[in-house]
Amino acid sequence: MPAAAVKPTLEEIVPEGGGVGESRREVSGLPLPSLTFTRELLRSFPHTKRVGSYLIGKMINKGSFAKVMEGLHIGTGEKTLETENSYYMAMELCAGGDLMDRICDRRRLGEREVRRYTRQILSAVEHLHRHGIVHDLKIENFLLDEHNNIKIVFGLSNTLKPDSLSPELLNTQCGSPAYAAPELLAHRKYGSKVDVWSGVSMFAMLTGTLPFTVEPFNIKQLHQKMVNKDISNIPGDISKLLLEPDPDKRPSIREAMEERWISEGYAKKPLHTLSHKNLCPEDLNSSVLAHMTETLGYSLSEVINAVTSNRPSAVMASYHLLLNKFNR
Neighbours of 59 (CB within 10 A): 12
Buried/exposed 91-106: b ≥16 CB within 10 Å, e otherwise:
eeebebeebbebbeee
Are β-strands 157-159 and 142-144 bridged in parallel, bridged antiparallel, or unpaired? Answer: unpaired
Domain boundaries, the chain: 97-263
pLDDT at 59: 80
pLDDT per residue, tens digit, the chain (328 aa), is 344 444 555 554 444 433 343 433 333 333 334 455 555 667 778 887 887 777 888 887 776 656 777 888 777 777 766 666 766 666 677 889 999 999 999 999 999 999 999 999 998 888 888 877 887 688 888 999 989 999 988 766 677 665 544 444 445 555 578 888 888 888 888 888 888 888 889 889 998 988 888 888 888 998 999 999 888 666 666 666 788 899 899 988 888 888 888 888 887 676 665 556 678 888 899 988 988 888 778 899 999 999 998 877 888 888 888 887 777 6
Query: What is the pTM assigned to this prediction?
Result: 0.65
Question: Can you tell me the distance from the alpha carbon of 68 to that of 1, in angstroms, rounded to the nearest whole number?
Answer: 39
97-263 CATH, one of 3.50.50.60, 3.40.50.300, 1.10.8.50, 1.10.510.10: 1.10.510.10
CA end-to-end span of the chain: 39
| Extended strands (E) in 140-252 | 142-144, 150-152, 157-159
Task: Give me the active site residues, please.
Answer: 136
pLDDT at 34: 46
Q: What is the DSSP letter of 265?
A: T
